Amino acid sequence: MIIIVFLYFNQILIMHTLTAIYRAPENKEEFDSHYRDVHTPLAKQMEGLRRMEVTWVEKMLTPGNDTLPATPHLVCTMYFDDAEALNASMKSPNSRAAAKDLMSFAGPLVSMIIGCTEEIPL
């Protein structure tokens, strides 16, 4: 039995996230196929990964700016228990395999950020 314990602060769930923002590729069909059939199965094996969300962007509601100059193609957010779990995962063999694949098909298309994410109860 696996028991997962999350850190709650005033009923706010706090986790560390690794988020990848991809700009639109030239060949969306080829990119999407590789992302779904090759990259996602590799990423799902990352040690310590608790949840993974992929958003296929349909529309950008604001004009492009210095922060985000064009509509992204997709955004993937991966959740880890804490910074230590995320850092340990980044050094693991499965994460390295996913990173190697990422650079092979999307290196110039992706920007990645790490953050502390709070889930606000409604």
Question: Which tens digit of pLDDT belongs to each residue from 86-114?
Answer: 999 999 999 999 999 999 999 999 999 99
How large a percentage of the chain has pLDDT more than 90?
Answer: 84
Residue spans of alpha helices (H) in 1-122: 28-34, 40-43, 83-90, 93-106
Architecture of domain 24-58+70-119: 2-Layer Sandwich (3.30)
Question: Which tens digit of pLDDT belongs to each residue from 4-13?
Answer: 445 555 567 8
Q: Which two tokens stand for residue 86?
A: 């995320």
Reported in sequence order, the residue ranges of the chain that DSSP labels E, i.e. its strands, are: 7-9, 12-23, 51-56, 72-80, 110-119
Indicate whether 121 pLDDT > 60: yes
pLDDT bin (cut points 50, 70, 90) of residue 119 is: confident
pTM: 0.87
Domain boundary assignment for the chain:
24-58+70-119
Q: How many Å apart are CA 42 and CA 97, to the nearest integer?
A: 7
